[in-house]
Amino acid sequence: MSSFKKAQKAAQKSHRERSQPSSRAKFGLLEKKKDYQLRARDYHKKQAALKRLRQKARDRNPDEFYYKMISTRMIDGVHTSVKKDEPTTEEQLKMMETQDLRYVNHKMTVESKKIEKLKSSLHMLEDREEKPKNKHTFFVDTVKEAKEFDPAKHLNTHPALLHRAHNRPTLSMLSDPSLLKALAGSSGEGASSGLADVGKEKKKRYHELSQRIEREKQLNIIAEKMEAKKHSKDKSRKKLVKEETPESAPVYKFHMKRKR
């Protein structure tokens, strides 16, 4: 009997799906069985996901807590992560990834020396109005010597520096050409223009000094962060006392261990 059924099926006509109609533009494409299967699978998959979510919402513990609850916000119906302030700036991260601690310490030492040099040079660019008017009396033997007396020649300094009561450099100490030019303009007929040049030079030096002080500060912060990162890799017991910020390195408190 079974062999008869097999033979009967082999002889019957195979079923074929109808072809697309000639007027496709009017009615559109007909859905085939494979298209229906894909649509049905996608529909049942979505319904199963919704069923799982409803069951999960019913079984949820009202006291449960996830860190995503405080690190995300609902914006236009979408959970969006809230960006926190990065403890390390892009410049600090670039320096820490490309250079080592010895290079940072070397650059910090170079900046410190340049700052000290700038501070020492700024003492010679003080304006006249910033200092009190002190008197310096010189005694000579004759009236002729008094008339021919030149205080700048006697003190071996520039005429523009005679008003200084202290920190009066000699001509041999004035080796900076720009400083000599500015001081030369502050005597004689060009006194006003010379003082203006000294003021511009002073402002320029102070601006450079502030920039170098800020750079030294940033290098010091980077060096401290690199030191802290190096110590954080230590496997000994430690506790984070202060978190890392863009202006300071993290602070760890290590467990006291007796050295033998």
Q: Where are the alpha helices (DSSP H) in the chain?
A: 2-11, 24-27, 33-58, 68-71, 90-98, 101-122, 143-147, 151-155, 177-185, 191-232
Using one digit for the tens of pLDDT, what is the confidence trace for 234-256?
A: 777 888 888 888 888 888 888 88
* Of 190, 134, 192, nearest in space to 164 by CA: 134
* Helix 191-232 × helix 177-185 angle, to 10°: 150
Using one digit for the tens of pLDDT, what is the confidence trace for 41-55?
A: 999 999 999 999 999
- Please give the Cα distance from 213 to 115 (Å, whole number): 7
Q: What is the pLDDT of residue 128?
A: 44
Q: What are phi and psi of 244, to 5 degrees?
A: -75, 140
Say what the pTM is. Answer: 0.46
Tracing tokens 């069951």 back to the chain, one arrives at 55
- Please give the Cα distance from 100 to 234 (Å, whole number): 18
What is the average pLDDT across 227-233?
84
**For the chain, domain boundaries:** 90-226
Q: What is the pLDDT of residue 69?
A: 80
Please tell me the total number of residues recorded for the chain in this structure: 260
- In this structure, are residues 228 and 252 in contact, taking their beta carbons and an 8 Å threshold? yes
Using one digit for the tens of pLDDT, what is the confidence trace for 168-225?
A: 777 766 665 655 555 555 554 454 555 566 667 778 888 888 888 899 999 999 998 8
Using one digit for the tens of pLDDT, what is the confidence trace for 2-29?
A: 777 888 877 787 777 777 777 665 667 7
Q: What is the pLDDT of residue 92?
A: 84
Using one digit for the tens of pLDDT, what is the confidence trace for 109-153?
A: 999 999 888 888 776 555 444 555 567 788 888 888 888 888 777
- Please give the Cα distance from 224 to 137 (Å, whole number): 55
pLDDT at 1 over 60: yes
Q: What is the pLDDT of residue 45?
A: 97
More confident call, 36 vs 152: 36
- In this structure, are residues 194 and 187 in contact, taking their beta carbons and an 8 Å threshold? yes
* Residues in Cβ contact with 158 at an 8 Å cutoff, skipping those fewer than 6 apart: 152, 171, 174, 180, 183, 184, 187
- Please give the Cα distance from 126 to 203 (Å, whole number): 11
- In this structure, are residues 67 and 55 in contact, taking their beta carbons and an 8 Å threshold? no
Q: What is the pLDDT of residue 129?
A: 44
Q: What is the pLDDT of residue 127?
A: 47
